[in-house]
A and B are shown apart, each in its own frame.
Chain A
Amino acid sequence: MSVKLSSRQVGDVTVLDVAGRITLGEGSSAMRDALRDLVTKGQKKILLNLGEVSYIDSSGIGELVSGFTTVTNSGGQLRLLNLTKRVKDLLQITKLYTVFDVHEDEAAAIRAFA
């Protein structure tokens, strides 16, 4: 499996659940398309749930940054939820961990958008 994406609405927050591998090719482009689609539809509050992401490479990290920039530039907010140790470690060594607003609890993450 490459990557599987599904979105759900919790109040005015869109939660994008991501599972699988976010790597160069199908995985990273699918996540990019999903985020851009949400922005195009005017969604301003997006919570990216990475709890089921088994693997991410530098291209996937680039897509997280790209998504963050796209959402922020459109006046919205992108937050991250449920990072696996692997993803958290990668964001820390690339100094991106503090760039993102990262949460471990979905309800708290939703409240943070208010």
Chain B
Amino acid sequence: MRHTPETVERFLESSLESVDSAEELATGMAERAGFEDEDLMKIGMAVRESMVNAVVHGNRYNANKRVRLSVSHTPDRFIIRISDEGEGFDLASLPDPLAPENLLRTSGRGIFLIRSFMDEFDIRRSEAGGMDVTLVKYLVSK
């Protein structure tokens, strides 16, 4: 049985522990919203990769910077927003991880995986200069 829509917002430290807790929070809410195993894994991994980007590449583990996490859902959409306080980056500058010359790179697959796992993905610079990421997974009635 699905629970009433809920919205949760957290301001998290720039640490790997925050990555774990964000993943746990999002997958817990996704499960209550009605998602099952395969989608829970995809949502969890998309949140993990987005949080890693915010903590490691955005805030660079800076103890004075926070990551804002918001998780909510409507009857048909599960929405996660993750914002960092870093300097931002240009999405177009990221190399294609599927290009033959990039296959053996040891990094650069995070955003590709997020796009693969979510129904909608939006990333843009915030007014403050960091990155705002929005992840959406559609809730399908059964």
Contact = CB atoms under 8 A, between A and B. Distances in A.
A5 interface: no
User: Which size class do A's interface residues fall under?
Assistant: 20 to 34
Nearest to B109: A58
B106 A57 contact: no
Contacts of B107: 58-59, 62
B25 interface: no
Given A24-B19, A65-B105, A94-B112, A59 B52 contact: yes
A23 B56 CA distance: 13
A23 B109 CA distance: 13
B110 interface: yes
A40 B118 CA distance: 41
Q: Is the interface of B mostly helix, strand, loop or mixed?
A: helix
A95 B97 CA distance: 9
A63 B106 contact: yes
A23 B51 CA distance: 13
Could you say which of A23, A58, A96 has the most chain B C-beta atoms within 10 Å of its C-beta? Answer: A58
Interface in A58-101: 58-59, 61-63, 65-66, 68-69, 86, 90, 93-96, 99
User: Which size class do B's interface residues fall under?
Assistant: 20 to 34
Contacts of B98: 94-95
A62 B116 contact: no
A27 to B, nearest CB: 10
A19 to B, nearest CB: 18
Interface of B: 16, 19, 41, 45, 48-49, 52, 56, 97-98, 103-107, 109-110, 112-113, 116
Q: Which 8 A-B pairs have the closest CB atoms?
A: A62-B106, A58-B109, A58-B110, A66-B106, A25-B16, A62-B107, A95-B98, A65-B106
21 contacts: A24-B19, A24-B56, A57-B48, A58-B49, A58-B107, A58-B109, A58-B113, A59-B52, A59-B107, A65-B103, A65-B105, A66-B106, A68-B104, A86-B41, A94-B97, A94-B98, A94-B109, A94-B112, A94-B113, A95-B98, A99-B104
